[in-house]
């Protein structure tokens, strides 16, 4: 089975997207795994890393994917030339985009359509949204095409996040060692718990762990991390390597960054070493422990 | 000096986090409840069941030629009140099933499922287990599900328990003690002791429970506890005849008193008619020669020297004097014997 890793927490700014990007690039460019990136966040930042997203004329501030490189107006009469993960909620076929990394493909966001799915309230529709991504990822052809799928989620606990969690085999909760972030962990653990109740032993949702992110050498970060690690049961789920607050993690996201990929930095570079250690840990947990 | 700042995650949040992880571990895959189509559910015939009615009987009416027609019709009638409540409120407590291929096998909730069919429902809330649970777990689930049923007979409960004990002993390879039973069922030890005793009772009592002649756990337990076979039979018959628990207790107490009285008597000397004989009567005689013979043979013995003078002077024709001297000799003899006893 293709491993499906979701980065989720309903608090914003914890590093979901950055972690999705770096993990996807580690798996595709370093390990050469056939990787599919899925952007469930209407902010479309994960998509923007790989595609020149266009502004949606009909939706203020919204983004839509550009034309697909394979689109040929003369042949594809029934296709408007774009594809996004939001299409699964509209019964449309989806066509992943290639990226600048050969092993990495992307199903980009479509802001307004994702927003619509996120905003559904009628029970039957909510349930449909919840299972839609799982249905897509269960398709054999898709499973055969990828070794691993990385899903980025919006900062919410709404239908899109739930859909991602329901589709996932593994979940990572990135979190800063700060008050609101720890509360965010609580919310996500609740979601994981609910899903765990539901799953059978044949297809569990594995909690890879809480990833301590943006850690600085200050007392509150150190003490919160210590508290979290010493909590009964919870301690086992704190990833034993932290990511520190570093300029480089945001610098590589700039359009003309050089290098563009963190793993193109020299091996002994502290940032590369730090994140690679975390990626190795995650990979080991996801691929070795079933 | 400035106060050292210390940062702790609050107790409430810590508790919340810890509980969430622990609960997630404990109930992983166990709280999966969904509305299932009833037509996808099958009765598990591997498990003993009390009902003879089957889903097919309800879906296409009972065959009039069915030998069990009467019984099945009765069972349908007995479900009437549940059918009404399901029409009104639906099924509140989900049934329990496990997945087998594309279909589901029913572990608990046969009546609810049947009643739902009668209530013209197409689906039913079900807790879904991924696979068939172990025999012990299965019998436990059925026990817990059943214990809430008010109409469950003592025999039905015992049969459930018998399965639990059997599968426990199979799994653990050891005899199940009442303490283990009480732990497993989560009931008080005294309750478990009673169940345990009845499970190991003789066939006659079990038969009476099976036939519904004994319906009450306490009554059954008290009868089983009687060691004396005759009394046990008496108590059993009394119970079948409608004796209350207090009657049975009284029967045992009365019997105990009787037993004790009997035992006391057995310890004492055998008795004749009238007042008890507590001493030896040496008898009376008019023949003073016979008395003289006895006295002469005693008086020569050691310890009677003091009486020798009186005997010599005795008027053997005077019965009163002879009786008097005989009594003195007897007294002296008793005294001498007592002294001898003490010296020893």
Q: Over chain B, what is the mean pLDDT?
A: 82
Q: What is the pLDDT of residue B80?
A: 86
Instruction: Choose, out of B5, B6, B8, B9, the residue to mutate when testing the contact with A (most A CBs < 10 Å).
Output: B9
Q: What is the pLDDT of residue B75?
A: 82
Q: What are the residue ranges in chain A where pLDDT is below 70?
A: 289-290
Domain ranges across chain B: 29-132, 134-200, 288-343
Q: Please give the angle made by the CA atoms of A177, A182 and A184, to the nearest 5 degrees.
A: 130
Those of residues 166-185 in B touching chain A at CB distance below 8 A are none
Interchain CB distance below 8 Å, B18 and A185: no
Residue predicted with more confidence, A24 or B107? A24
B17 contact residues in A (CB cutoff 8 A): 182, 185-186, 189, 228, 231, 234
B293 — contact with chain A (CB < 8 Å)? Answer: no
Interchain CB distance below 8 Å, A186 and B25: no
B21 contact residues in A (CB cutoff 8 A): 189, 193, 233-234, 237
A198 contact residues in B (CB cutoff 8 A): 29, 31-32
Contact in structure between B145 and B114 (CB atoms under 8 Å): no
Interchain CB distance below 8 Å, B8 and A189: no
Interchain CB distance below 8 Å, A231 and B30: no
Q: What is the pLDDT of residue A159?
A: 92
Interchain CB distance below 8 Å, A233 and B18: yes
Most distant CA pair in chain B, distance: 132
Assign B242 a pLDDT band (cuts: 50, 70, 90). confident
At the topology level, CATH places domain A3-288 in Rossmann fold (3.40.50)
Distance of alpha carbon A8 from alpha carbon A161, whole angstroms: 7
- The partner residue sitting opposite B29, judged by closest CB among A200, A231, A233, is A200
Q: What is the pLDDT of residue A203?
A: 83
Q: What is the pLDDT of residue A290?
A: 47
DSSP string, B262-286: HHHHHHSPP--SSSPP-S------S
B29 — contact with chain A (CB < 8 Å)? Answer: yes
CATH of domain B29-132: 3.90.1530.30
pLDDT at B4 over 70: no
Q: What is the pLDDT of residue A281?
A: 96
Instruction: Choose, out of B8, B23, B28, the residue to mutate when testing the contact with A (most A CBs < 10 Å).
Output: B28
Interchain CB distance below 8 Å, A223 and B130: no
- The partner residue sitting opposite A189, judged by closest CB among B9, B20, B28, is B20
pLDDT at B45 over 80: no
ipTM of this complex prediction, to 2 decimal places? 0.84
- The partner residue sitting opposite B18, judged by closest CB among A190, A202, A232, is A232
Q: What is the pLDDT of residue A61?
A: 81
B31 — contact with chain A (CB < 8 Å)? Answer: yes
Q: In the predicted model, what is the mean pLDDT of residues B21-30?
A: 79
Q: Report DSSP state, residue B126.
A: E
pLDDT per residue over B262-293, tens digit each? Answer: 887 776 655 556 677 788 888 888 888 888 88
Q: Report DSSP state, residue B229.
A: H
pTM of this prediction? 0.63
B130 contact residues in A (CB cutoff 8 A): 200-202
Assign B74 a pLDDT band (cuts: 50, 70, 90). confident
Interchain CB distance below 8 Å, B7 and A196: no
Interchain CB distance below 8 Å, B21 and A224: no
Interchain CB distance below 8 Å, B130 and A201: yes
Interchain CB distance below 8 Å, A201 and B28: yes
Q: What is the pLDDT of residue B149?
A: 66
Which residue of B lies nearest to A223 if distances are taken between CA atoms?
B7
Phi, psi of B33, rounded to the nearest 5 degrees: -115, 130
Distance of alpha carbon A162 from alpha carbon A159, whole angstroms: 5
Q: What is the pLDDT of residue B157?
A: 82
pLDDT at B147 over 90: no
Distance from CA of B105 to the nearest CA of A (A): 16
Q: What is the pLDDT of residue B1?
A: 46
Distance of alpha carbon A156 from alpha carbon A170, whole angstroms: 18
Interchain CB distance below 8 Å, A185 and B23: no
């Amino acid at each position: 089975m293709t491993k499906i890793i979701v980065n989720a927490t309903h608090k914003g700014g914890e590093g979901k997207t950055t972690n999705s990007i770096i993990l996807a690039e580690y798996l595709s460019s370093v390990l050469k795994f056939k990787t599919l990136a899925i952007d469930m966040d209407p902010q479309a930042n994960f998509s923007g890393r790989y595609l020149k997203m266009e502004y949606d004329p009909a939706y203020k501030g919204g983004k839509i994917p550009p034309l697909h490189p394979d689109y040929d107006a003369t042949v594809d009469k029934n296709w408007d030339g774009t594809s996004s993960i939001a299409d699964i909620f509209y019964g449309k076929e989806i066509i992943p985009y290639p990226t600048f990394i050969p092993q990495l493909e992307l199903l980009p966001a479509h802001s307004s359509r994702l927003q619509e799915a996120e905003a559904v309230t009628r029970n039957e529709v909510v349930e449909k949204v919840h299972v839609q991504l799982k249905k897509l990822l269960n398709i054999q052809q898709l499973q055969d095409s990828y070794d691993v799928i990385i899903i980025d989620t919006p900062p919410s606990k709404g239908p899109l996040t739930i859909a991602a969690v329901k589709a996932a085999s593994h979940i990572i909760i990135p979190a800063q060692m700060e008050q609101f972030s720890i509360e965010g962990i609580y919310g996500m653990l609740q979601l994981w718990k609910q899903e765990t109740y539901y799953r059978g032993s044949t297809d569990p949702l594995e909690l890879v762990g809480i990833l301590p992110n943006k850690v600085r050498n200050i007392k509150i970060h150190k003490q919160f991390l210590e508290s979290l690690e010493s909590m009964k049961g919870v301690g086992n789920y704190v990833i034993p390597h932290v990511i520190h607050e570093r300029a480089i993690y945001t610098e590589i996201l700039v359009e003309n960054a050089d290098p563009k990929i963190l793993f193109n930095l020299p091996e002994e570079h502290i940032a590369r070493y730090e994140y690679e250690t975390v990626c190795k840990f995650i990979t080991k947990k996801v691929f070795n422990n079933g | 000096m400035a106060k050292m700042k210390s940062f702790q995650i609050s107790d409430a949040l810590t508790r919340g986090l810890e509980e969430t992880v622990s609960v997630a571990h404990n109930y992983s895959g166990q709280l999966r409840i969904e509305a299932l189509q009833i037509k996808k559910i099958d009765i598990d015939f591997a498990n003993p069941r009390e009902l003879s009615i089957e889903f097919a009987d309800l879906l296409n009416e009972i065959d009039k030629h069915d030998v069990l027609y009467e019984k099945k019709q009765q069972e349908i009638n007995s479900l009437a009140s549940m059918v009404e409540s399901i029409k009104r409120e639906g099924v509140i407590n989900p049934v329990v099933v496990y997945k087998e291929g594309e279909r589901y096998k029913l572990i608990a909730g046969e009546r609810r499922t049947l009643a739902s069919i009668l209530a013209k429902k197409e689906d039913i809330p079900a807790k879904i287990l991924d696979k068939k649970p172990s025999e012990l777990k299965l019998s436990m689930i059925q026990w817990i599900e059943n214990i809430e049923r008010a109409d469950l007979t003592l025999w039905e409960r015992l049969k459930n328990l018998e399965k639990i004990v059997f599968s426990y002993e199979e799994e653990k390879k050891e005899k199940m003690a009442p303490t283990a039973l009480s732990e497993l069922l989560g009931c008080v030890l005294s309750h478990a002791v009673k169940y345990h005793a009845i499970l190991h009772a003789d066939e006659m009592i079990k038969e009476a429970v099976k036939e519904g002649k004994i319906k009450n756990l306490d009554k059954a337990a008290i009868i089983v506890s009687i060691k004396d076979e005759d009394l046990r039979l008496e108590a059993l018959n009394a119970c079948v005849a409608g004796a209350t628990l207090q009657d049975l207790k009284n029967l045992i107490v009365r019997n105990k008193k009787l037993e004790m009285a009997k035992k006391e008597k057995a310890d004492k000397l055998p008795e004749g008619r009238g007042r008890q004989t507590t001493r030896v009567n040496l008898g009376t005689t008019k023949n003073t020669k016979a008395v003289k013979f006895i006295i002469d043979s005693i008086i020569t013995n050691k310890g009677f020297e003091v009486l020798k003078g009186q005997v010599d002077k005795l008027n053997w024709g005077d019965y009163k004097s002879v009786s008097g001297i005989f009594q003195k000799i007897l007294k002296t003899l008793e005294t001498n014997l007592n002294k001898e006893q003490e010296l020893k």
